[in-house]
Every structure is written in structure tokens, then in C-alpha cells.
Amino acid sequence: MPAQGAEPPAGGLPGFDVLAARQVRLAPGMREMGRGETSASTPLPDSGRDTCVRVAFVAGRQVSAALVARDGAVLERSAATADGVIGSRGPVCFRAGAGVELRVEGDAGIVRFVVWGAP
């Protein structure tokens, strides 16, 4: 996932810094693992160890976003929304090497996201 700095809102979407500021509420004590844009799917960075994550995302229209392992297991799916979180009830954890990707379902064009992880 390409790292991207602060950018002005594109297509009416909040900038990355607006999403990243949600860390205080959504992911205290977690570190930012990445940020990016996708319209379908993108792999999460592999930290080489068991990891727990939360993902905040925004889209131009309602989408459902999910964390999906390489074996096809859906680890967690968000409700259909244009401004959501994967891991809203707590971090989503997976084993090292699980090959987890963020998958977006719906036709919203670009979806911006920020991923936080621990440890």
C-alpha cells in the first residue's frame, strides 16, 4: 500500500490527516501501519508477526469494507456506510503471514483508508 502524506480533499473525501486524527478515539496505543486509496482491494502490510488492526475509511457513497485473509476467510466486515470502521467493537487480529487484504464492495469510486496496528 503506497504511503501518502497529507493531501487536500479529493472528490469531496476528507484528507488523510482527518482520518489519521481518529486514532485518538479508535486506536489509542496503536501505531499507524499505512494509509492509501483503493476502489477494490489492497493488501495490508505484513509485519511478520501476529497483528491486531483497526481501519477507518471514507467513500463517496456507501460501501461495505472487509478484512479478508488469503484463504478467503472474512475476518470482519463493516456495515454499509460512506464513513466507517473495521474493528468497531475492538481490534481485528490475525496470524503472521495470513495475507490479509482490505476489500471494498460497492461502487463508490475511490475509498480512502488508514490502518492502525499493534503490536
Q: Give a yes or no: residue 65 inside a domain.
A: yes
pLDDT per residue as tens digits for the range 76-108: 999 999 999 999 999 999 999 999 999 999 987
Q: Is the pTM of this model over 0.85?
A: yes
Of 6-15, 20-29, 65-74, least confident by mean pLDDT is 6-15
Q: Give a yes or no: residue 13 inside a domain.
A: no
Does 5 have pLDDT greater than 70?
Answer: no
Q: Give a yes or no: residue 15 inside a domain.
A: no
CATH of the domain at 108: 2.60.120
- The Cα–Cα gap between 77 and 86 comes to 6
Q: Give a yes or no: residue 61 inside a domain.
A: yes
Neighbours of 31 (CB within 10 A): 12
With bands split at pLDDT 50, 70 and 90, how would you rate the model's confidence at 61?
A: very high
Of residues 107 and 51, more confidence is placed in 51
Mean pLDDT of all residues belonging to the chain? 90
Q: Give a yes or no: residue 50 inside a domain.
A: yes
What is the per-residue DSSP string for 33-92? EEEEEESSEEEPP--SS-EEEEEEEEEEEEEEEEEE-TTS-EEEEPPSEEEEEESTTS-E
Domain count, the chain: 1
* Cis peptide preceding 9, ω within 30 of 0: no
Does 2 have pLDDT greater than 60?
Answer: no
C-alpha atoms less than 13 angstroms from C-alpha of 111 in its C-beta half-sphere: 31
- The Cα–Cα gap between 95 and 39 comes to 26
Q: Give a yes or no: residue 62 inside a domain.
A: yes
Can you give the residue range of the structural domain that contains 87?
A: 32-118
- The gap between the terminal CA atoms of the chain, to the nearest Å, is 19
Does 31 have pLDDT greater than 80?
Answer: yes
Q: Give a yes or no: residue 66 inside a domain.
A: yes
Q: Give a yes or no: residue 77 inside a domain.
A: yes
